[in-house]
Amino acid sequence: MVVDTYTPLEWLAVAPVALPMAAGALCLMFRSRGDLAARITVLTLGLLVLLNVGLVHTVVQQGTLIMAMGNWLPPFGIVFAIDILGAVLALTTSVVGLIGAIYASGDIDIGRRRFGFYTFYLLLITGVSGAFLTGDIFNLYVWFEVLLIASFGLIILGGERAQLDGAVKYGVLNLLATTLFLVAVGYLYGLVGTLNMADIALAVPQLPAAAPIGVVTALFIVAFSMKAAAFPLNFWLPASYHTPRIVVAAIFAGLLTKVGAYSLMRIVVMLLPETRDLLADVILWVAVLTMLVGAFGALAQGEVRRLLGFVVISGIGNIFVGVAVGSSEALAGSIFYAVHSIIVMFGLYLAAGAVERIAGTSSLHTASGLYRLEPALATLFLVLAFAVSGLPPFSGFWPKVMLVQATIGAGLGWVAAAILVTGFLTTIAMGRVWLLVFWRDAVNGAPLRSQATPDASRASWMVPIALVVVIVAGIGLMPDGLMQASLASAQSLLDPQAYVNSVLGEGGN
């Protein structure tokens, strides 16, 4: 039940948005003092991690947490409605954001700091967190716009030719997706007369049979598929993610496509379940083709960053499988996979940046011999490669098992086979990177620059990668907590009555 006053715990609902937004404004004031902005960012995101831990604990103990803005109670005002799915994803966002901020201390030069890197970075975290926590479908669009503006600023920061080229491809396709999303929101509002997600969940089943809700659902699927880089709308990602600074590419690879996948779950599964059932086969084929295109694309690449871009795409296919199958087990596997993919892909891009620092290139044709020089980095990269391939005992193993079991249980053995084949192809692609870049002898006296790197600078990229590996190994060895949270999130999406009651009051009034 919504009340007019809030406890301090309930104010946690807006902390993941208000805190980085305020810190971003502060960094803008001190943008000429790059070191101070860096410290503000790290301290802010460290505090945000702690607050998000408290948010997850509160939601687990008390259920969906509600914060109505300006005392305008739902469904009329803007509301933050935080269930276990949103809370877990917000926590994951703050964790990778903090690690990325630590890495940025050695990756972002003074010029980019003065042009507002940390302000854009915190604004991106704000937009992603807002998308995960909002209970209003139009404000989901607003948070998409916030993260799009921030990401566009980050991708062009530096003004290099390759960055501008990548930004055009990234910007045009994402603006088109956002436009389709806005059209779908307007169309849905015209049908149901409300923007509150809980209210929409009640209104959609009451629509007349002739209502064109299938068209609205199709628009949402296309928009979010483009945002998530699903087949056949995936071509923009590998053409743009290799251009910005590595920490920017890492945060993009970890978070941005997952916002699209999350939105597909939240809107299509929770709010439009009947039309999702009608379009399930289409989503399933998109999922399988996305997995396979990503895996084969990774095998075809000769540069580490481009290869990782296709691995991101392949992972989106795995997430879409759960949306297509629609059972609680399959959705739980997709949610678990999304959290895993945020962390692992973020870590892999950071590791690719370390390779570029040491070898002066990320080309598989010239980068070589790094194992003898940096055995610790080689080991960390290998762990991340195992995790992204779905090999035990790391984080990627469990969601793959959940998805395979769910697809077999649904009589979709061919989809389970596609998941396993994709994992095998990804293992080959990542193994190829490790063998060529780390294990083989240096090619033609390939330059190795790590010996000239001061220990303090080396720590700025080794420590963040090691932190990611610890998280990946921890999830793999102790998956029960995330697995239970994923199952609870999936059940909430499939049966949103508890969510509706929390937002609108018992009985949905």
Q: What's the pLDDT tens digit per position in 441-468?
A: 776 655 555 444 545 567 778 899 999 9
Nearest CA-CA partner of 78 in 23, 133, 20: 133
Amino acid residing at 377: L
What was the pLDDT predicted at 264? 93
What was the pLDDT predicted at 449? 55
Amino acid residing at 222: V
Residue 389: both structure tokens together: 């391939």
Nearest CA-CA partner of 6 in 54, 55, 66: 66
- Detail the DSSP E strand segments found in 12-169: 65-68, 79-82
Which segments in the chain show pLDDT lower than 50?
1-3, 450-452, 454
What was the pLDDT predicted at 6? 58
Is the distance from CB of 94 to CB of 343 less than 8 angstroms? Answer: no
Nearest CA-CA partner of 191 in 202, 181, 182, 203: 203
Residue 77 neighbours by CB under 8 Å, 6+ apart: 68, 69, 70, 71
φ and ψ of 479, to 5 deg: -85, -5
Nearest CA-CA partner of 14 in 58, 53, 62, 55: 55
What was the pLDDT predicted at 9? 63
Is the distance from CB of 384 to CB of 355 less than 8 angstroms? Answer: no
What was the pLDDT predicted at 452? 43
Is the distance from CB of 486 to CB of 335 less than 8 angstroms? Answer: yes
**In this predicted model, what pLDDT tens digit does every residue of 325-351 receive, in sequence order?**
989 999 999 999 999 999 999 999 999
- Give the pairing type, strands 65-68 and 79-82: antiparallel
Q: pTM for the complete prediction? A: 0.92
What was the pLDDT predicted at 356? 87
What was the pLDDT predicted at 10? 65
List beta partners, residue 196.
136
